[in-house]
Structure 1
Amino acid sequence: MAPAATSTVDDTVGGNEPRGPSPGRIITKHDFICEQHIQNLTHGVPKEEKYRLEGVALIESVREKLGLPAKTFATACTFWHKFRLHYGRTEYRFNDAALTCLWFACKTEDTQKKSKEIACASYNISNPSDQRTPDDKSFEKHSQSMIGMERMLIETLAFNLSARYPLGMMVKLIKKFLTREEWSTDFYPVAWDMAFDIYKTFAPLKKTTGTVALALLELTSRLTGLSQDKILAINCEDHQVSRTQMLEVMSDLLDLYTQSHKHTRLGALFPLDKFIDIKITINKEIEDRGIDFNSWCQGCSFHAPPPPFPPASRGGIGNSEAITKRFIFDRDAAHEEQEISRPYLENDFEEYETEVEEEIHPEPDRHRDRRGPSEPKRPSGPSHGRHGGRRGGGFGPGGHGGHGRQGDGGWHGRRREGRRGGGNFR
């Protein structure tokens, strides 16, 4: 007796309704991305920081060349960071992706520019001695590449074209808490440059607009030493902002200034020691509060939100999925649809064990002929065939082959193992 495990699959719901077709994978927008997810998505990506900073620098230089507003720059950098997180590897050219993000941001913010204009401005910046116009035929291939990459960018954004703009709120807060004489000197220019530098980090993707704006104000006052009593006296809770979130934004920005000092706007205006001193002060406050930005707490680890991008996307641009993608803007409607369709798409498995009788066959006699008992022995002795043939059993002029010499149709050899013309007969 031997146990055998079997399983049955119930392909019907209630025994009447069959399973329907798969509705595909539902994709919804993600307004915020956690620091833990960013660490997982960027882990193992070669030269991630290098390409991220070079992409933002290219967007900024082309924006200044074409005279685009700051809001378009903020939107383009947001698109660029999300695209880099989705396609972390470098199967594509980073400058093509950065220019595509800027071109699509121009459409989003109603500052219309053609793809050839974006490509031409980038070329003229890199080649000051060879200035060209957008009508040049050399930009045709570059334009087609940007058009093809635009579809990938739209799918990465899940058709969510909104982007946060902390620069506008920062200006409002400056005018609210400081007088014109206080912010019109050295405070406002430093805060404005810092607002551009913050888009070289992932802070705008992680935090709200108010959090980023208040963090910029406090870090500007610490850096310039102006109006510290008024800025530090602001109660962040009155603006629905957590102090922990502000510390994380300032920590990210100070890491940028200390690690990539030459790639920032304020790097040429302030010495590195100034940023290091402020970073020491901020780190001391973080340690006193017992904050860790790089790991989940034990109470939240079991309720962590899912990552914004699927792990399969780490394969790069060449990766393709057979399942249909559906983009839904209303997250509650997506959950409601999944609850309705789940009973029709799930398979119910029932496993059980049964005992069956197996017939045991006797082992064959080892001394018996290998050909088996049912196969007759092949004849031996002289052949009585009528056809001669050439040596090798082929078809010769004398007829079907045996093993005699090539002859005139008589029998000149013996038949071997009952083979006639190369075939078996029994």
Structure 2
Amino acid sequence: GQGPEGIARGPDGRPAPEARVHFRVARFIMEAGVKLGMRSIPIATACTIYHKFFCETSLDAYDPYLIAMSSIYLAGKVEEQHLRTRDIINVSNRYFNPSGEPLELDSRFWELRDSIVQCELLMLRVLRFQVSFQHPHKYLLHYLVSLKNWLNRHSWQRTPVAVTAWALLRDSYHGGLCLRFQAQHIAVAVLYLALQVYGVEVPAEVEAEKPWWQVFSDDLTKPIIDNIVSDLIQIYTMDTEIP
């Protein structure tokens, strides 16, 4: 599985098959979440519940897409954006059969609905009811505002740093970064990477004489940033390898 040391790798150094499965299923959670009108925090919670569940159990024992559907359902409750199981089933059905008909309310539908509800109870037990998480979103929002005031307006407007940082944060949920690193650290790291991508220099704070990222998060070190960035890059590597 995905241990604390980052994305699991096979003997050839490429991401292990289960990491690829989790990548694909996390993408399903994100796309289904958007179609269900979920906000970004509930989607992030759904992905985190999913990854956390598979840190505790093995991929062979459970259908990852059923776990994903239950994660969406559970995240809706945790984040108080309640979803109907019926909508989750319909959106998922359309995801797998884009040209197919909506599921009839027949025995198959009710079985699936029961499975989602049963699975939710199982997940709550496996996760010992710890299903609310600190996400990096609020920190990133705060850091972006501070940084915008710090940089000159020209270099801020010329480059889509904010858009890129949000995209990196969203994509980080394809893997289990959210379980391995602190929320503040992830927020700083996606910002760090976004600035690097566009070659934007942040002037050091004169009085502080320390790099901007340390001003935002004083217990953050350069090796932690490097680890997060490296995990993010591994996710993008998988994206190019997975059809």
Report the TM-score when normalising by structure 2: 0.82
In the alignment, residue 217 of structure 2 is paired with which amino acid? H
Aligned-pair distance for 1:257?
A: 2.0
Distance 1:127 1:258, change over 3 A: closer
Q: Does 1:241 align with 2:219?
A: yes
Contact 1:55 1:98 in 2 (8 A): yes
Could you tell me the percent identity over the aligned residues?
A: 21
Write out aligned runs for 1:60-139 (5 A): 60-132=30-102, 136-137=105-106, 138-139=108-109
* Structure 1: distance between partners of 2:37 and 2:216: 37
Match of 1:222 among 196, 199, 216: 196
Asked if structure 1 preserves the Cα contact closer than 8 Å seen for 2:46 and 2:72, the reply is: yes
Q: Secondary structure at the match of 1:260?
A: helix
Q: Is the 8 A contact 1:75 1:164 kept in 2?
A: no
What are the residue-to-residue correspondences of 1:372-383 with 2, within 5 Å?
none
- Any conservation in 2 of the 1:53–1:200 contact (CA below 8 Å)? yes
Shift of 1:126: 2.2
Aligned amino acid, residue 194 of structure 1: L
> In 2 relative to 1, CA 90–48 (structure 1 residues): closer, same or farther, beyond 3 Å?
same
Alpha-carbon distance between aligned partners in 1 of 2:45 and 2:213, rounded to the nearest angstrom: 29
Tell me the amino acid that sits aligned with residue 228 of structure 1.
E
Task: Give yes or no for the alignment of 1:163 onto 2:133.
Answer: yes
8 A Cα contact 1:119 1:143, kept in partner: yes
1:255 and 2:229 matched: no
Counterparts of 1:239 and 1:188, CA distance in 2: 18
* Cα distance between partner residues in 1 of 2:237 and 2:6: 23
Q: Which residue of 1 aligns with 2:180?
A: 206
Shift of 1:121: 0.6
Runs (5+) with no aligned partner, structure 2 = 9-15, 205-209
Deviation for aligned residue 1:119: 1.1
Q: Confirm or deny: 8 A CA contact 1:177 1:230 kept in the other structure.
A: no
Structure (1/2) with the larger strand percentage? 1
| Residue 177 (structure 1) shift | 1.2
- The structure with the largest helix share of the pair is 2
Note the C-alpha offset of 1:224: 2.2
Show the counterpart of 1:357: none
C-alpha contact (below 8 Å) 2:7/2:175 kept by paired residues: no
Alignment of 1:25-424 (within 5 A): 35-36=4-5, 47-132=17-102, 136-137=105-106, 138-179=108-149, 182=156, 186-225=160-199, 227-230=200-203, 233-236=211-214, 239-243=217-221, 244-261=223-240
Q: Deviations over 1:12-43 (max 9, x none)?
A: xxxxxxxxxxxxxxxxxxxxx9725986xxxx
Alpha-carbon distance, 1:228 to partner: 2.4
Aligned-pair distance for 1:120? Answer: 0.9
Q: TM-score, normalised to structure 1's length?
A: 0.49
Question: Is this contact kept in 2: 1:174–1:183, CA < 8 A?
Answer: no
Residue type of the alignment partner of 1:100: S
Query: What is the one-letter code of the residue matched to 1:199?
Result: Y
Tell me how far apart the structure 1 counterparts of residues 90 and 238 of structure 2 sit (CA, whole Å): 32
Q: 1:195–1:216: 8 Å Cα contact kept in structure 2? A: yes
Find the aligned partners of 1:255 and 1:38 in 2 and give their Cα distance: 8
Q: Are the structure 2 counterparts of residues 140 and 253 from structure 1 closer, same or farther at C-alpha, using a change threshold of 3 Å?
A: same
Q: 1:263: Cα distance to partner?
A: 5.8
Number of equivalenced pairs: 226
- Aligned 8 A contact 1:120 1:139 in 2: no
Equivalents in 1 of 2:45, 2:126: separation in Å?
14
Superposition deviation, residue 239 in structure 1: 2.0
Partner SS, residue 116 of structure 1: helix
Distance 1:209 1:263, change over 3 A: farther
